[in-house]
Amino acid sequence: MYGSPDNTIITGNSSFVGGGGLYADAGTALTLTNIRVSNNFGGAYALGPVTINDGTFTDNEGTGLYVSGTVSISGTGFFSNTAGGVGVLGAATVINSRFENNTNLGGNPHDGGGLSVIGSLLLDGTDLINNRAAGGGGGVYVVGSAALLGGIIEGNNSQYVGGGVYAPAIYDVDATYFSTVTITGTVFADNVALFAGGGINVAGKTTIQNALFVDNRSGGMFGGSGGGAQVYGPLIVTASSFISNSATAMAGAIYHGNVADNAVGDGRIVNTVFARNHANGDGAAIYINTDGTDVILHSTIADTEINPKQAIAVMTGTVGITDTIITSHTVAISQTEGMVYQDYTSNGHKLRFFKQLEF
């Protein structure tokens, strides 16, 4: 296809090569406004840059939209497509859009029920609701860099890792390439991963600010970790809340570890609330297994009844805890190896541990 069709409905078409509804050849710059692509065998397939405004991609057998190149999407919905809502090899900017009830349960690859990006991703004011993947990333799968600004990621399911978001590292013979994820003001709610990272699973630098993780879960019959977040690599969490997340193994809210034992990840958790998180194994709220240094400042870890597990489980690494409240856990901190300091900054502030807190 050549050109930019606007105000167009494309439905009931098929192709066994790609783009049953719409195909744009290499070198074509495609701009689509108010387009409806539905019920095709293969949605839209583009080998060049794409701009989409105010469209819908619905009930396509296959991926709703695949782009090899740069894509900018605004005000567009992707609903009930059967091989993911959108797949991108390149740079993707998605603003004020919605991905709902998309699945990616068969074929190879099968990562990213709602959105799959290999490259870079800016996700601004966009919701991903009830998407499912047989691989990683029920909501979003991204390899490279990702910035999430606002939006709601809710009810997504991965039969592997990263119920809401999965951002892995890529290994080749010569080097390892780590992902970078920044989350600001995003809500992660009721996402599920079978093995690890109910809300997010990231291998690389992760920054979380003003975010809410609530009712995310990890685990199946073989156990799962990191109910809220599983991060391998540097981690910064600021002014966020982790509420009622759970894991069938360890780390009800946050699991923090190294990247494949070859990249130390320091951690810093500041002004953050952990409440009613649960794990069947160690670390109801936080589980630390990194060779780096983790610092927990001005935070609260609490429950409405006595939690039978440790609030913080330290397997290895150096952990400093300052001016932090830990309440209603039978054990505040357990230490298997490594070092734990309860007045890390030596500024007179002390760790405070109470038996019960009403809130």
185 touches 149 (CB < 8 A): yes
The stretch 187-208 carries a mean pLDDT of 97
Domain chopping of the chain, boundaries? 83-354
The per-residue pLDDT for range 78-122, each reduced to its tens digit, is: 999 999 999 999 999 999 999 999 999 976 578 999 999 999 999
Q: How far is CA 13 from the centre of its chain?
A: 34
Instruction: Return d(Cα 61, Cα 27) in angstroms, integer.
Output: 26
N-to-C CA span, the chain: 60
In this structure, the chain runs to a length of 359
CB-CB neighbours of 4 under 10 Å: 16
The per-residue pLDDT for range 24-38, each reduced to its tens digit, is: 888 889 999 999 999
Q: For 148-214, what is the HEC assignment?
A: EECCEEECCEECCECCCEEECCEECCCCEECEEEEEECCEEECCEECCECCCEEEEEEEEEECCEEE
Residue 351 has pLDDT above 90, yes or no: no
Residue 357 has pLDDT above 90, yes or no: no
Where does the pLDDT of residue 266 fall: very low under 50, low under 70, confident under 90, or very high at 90 and above? Answer: very high
Where does the pLDDT of residue 171 fall: very low under 50, low under 70, confident under 90, or very high at 90 and above? Answer: confident
Instruction: Return d(Cα 161, Cα 353) in angstroms, integer.
Output: 33
pTM of the model: 0.93
Where does the pLDDT of residue 354 fall: very low under 50, low under 70, confident under 90, or very high at 90 and above? Answer: very low
178 touches 263 (CB < 8 A): yes
